[in-house]
Structure 1
Amino acid sequence: MKLWKKLTLMLASAIGLSVLTTGVAQADTHTDFINRLSQPVLKVSRQNHLYGSVMMAQAALESNWGTSQLSLDANNYFGVKGSYDGHSVTMSTAEANPGGSMYNTLAQFKSYPTAQDSLNDYAKVLRGGTSWNPFLYEGAWRENASSYMTATNIVAENYATDKNYANKLNKIIAAYDLHDRFDRTTANSTDADTSTRITPGVDYASYDGTATVKPGTIKFYNGVPTSADKTKLIRTKQLANKKVKVLTRGIVTKDQTIWYQVKSGSVTGWIQITDILGLKNN
């Protein structure tokens, strides 16, 4: 074999091996990222009735699989601007001017103590929307979106200017079987029960405690009622004087009224703090 042919074959083999090695390394990096965020994503998506597959895919896309400087320095996996508990980092970012041309500028981005704080803040945005539209992302909630693809369309429409954003998220979900891993496992979970609504404009916190319902007829809701969200009301005497388990606290941010999610037997719902006695945190 002539020397040039040998050199050509050797070069081709080297390039092929390099491409293969790069592909394997990339796949390993992506798998490591998914494994590292797996438990926080499952927990946050269950608590907020969101598609975990979409949450994981968007974290991967926005942080370049956890390699972006923002995710490394500030645990910010979604490119969220502003400050978190007074903490932020200043970084260069590309912005579009009114004419559509891109330019670089400095901006403040939220700095989170942990990855889960970033996920919780992201879920709060999807659940609470914006100050001008608290229902901006309601089409992506599990109780409203029939599939993760419906959710990615809603997220893409309101979160990014990239017209191919939903397709990019769907490709990541399909390539790494994120739907099977993060959605199906919560479909029948009590943590993902959608019989109780999560209402925009309400600040939620988990609560492990007990209380006794007041005597008489009380107002019992399937979600925290606000002026913007008319949840289902049940007037009931069945819970009168009963000891109930307290699962969650919800504070309506507009008027600071306090509600508690309680459970008695198979019945779960929300009552106002004024309708319970002897509230005790376990």
Structure 2
Amino acid sequence: MDVIESIVSVKVFGVKLEDDFDIIDTLFDGKLTNIKCTKEGEYSARAIVTAKITSNDKNLNYIIAEGFVDFVYDLFCLFGVRVSVQEWTISTDSDYLNGKVDVAPPAFVITGAEVNKQVQKIKDNFLDSEMSGLFYNLREAHGQSGSVHRFRSLFAIFDRLSEKTPKKSIDYYKMKVVYNSEIQKLYSGHEYFVRFINCVDKLENAQLEDDYGNDYSDKLKEARKKLTSPYFINDQVAEYILRCIQVVRNRLNHGSFKGVTEVVVNSGYELLLPYVQKLIKEKSTF
């Protein structure tokens, strides 16, 4: 029986690689090997992921390629901002048509070591029906189906993975320290710092008051006034950002859009995404 080799190439948008690297694993029962991740350009927020597929059927190779595209999408959703797979190709023909998804965004720089650290986690959960909902929401959070849907998908993951109080609500008191640290690390440099300030300003001006009369927009504003240079966030500010995001989610769920504009939703999304990615990456079991 003939052996058919195919090369699959996946273009991932929304990620910046520090350097080219190999993914040190095989997938799909060893049929998919030689996985290489390459920078498209020095300043490009795109990466090219290639692999070799070997089987006895060109159509099986194509099906494996489609699965690999989803695998790559799941993996890089942990690292980018609005990640998408806009283009992929396979070197052999098939009886199927190749579809495309169109989205385009900014990104943080990531290393090969960071990506390789998450490969086994995605591999272990890739075909787990119980985990499909979480990774579906992660893909939807990066998708093009509208800012509200992306935000709600992202918050669903946050709600699932967050620490809880004895009453099963999100324990913001415990989570604020780690969130503060993550934001300080990610929003360094003038460009990202300005983005952070713009996002927080949107939450401050949205009058985000919960059902108990707590105006977290106002609390956030007051907490920021108490910051001393050079700090742009502390634990208290971190907690009120997360609580503002919670109010946005509650209003969307209840159909109350007071103060919740698209820019407010997008701000909440951007400020929550890196933290959700961190929660997934650090979770040993789900």
Identify the structure with bigger relative contact order (alpha carbons < 8 Å, sequence gap 6+): 2
Q: Which structure shows the higher strand fraction?
A: 1
From the CA coordinates, give the structure whose radius of gyration is larger. Answer: 1
Q: Would the TM-score normalized by the shorter structure come out above 0.5?
A: no
Choose between structure 1 and 2: higher helix proportion: 2
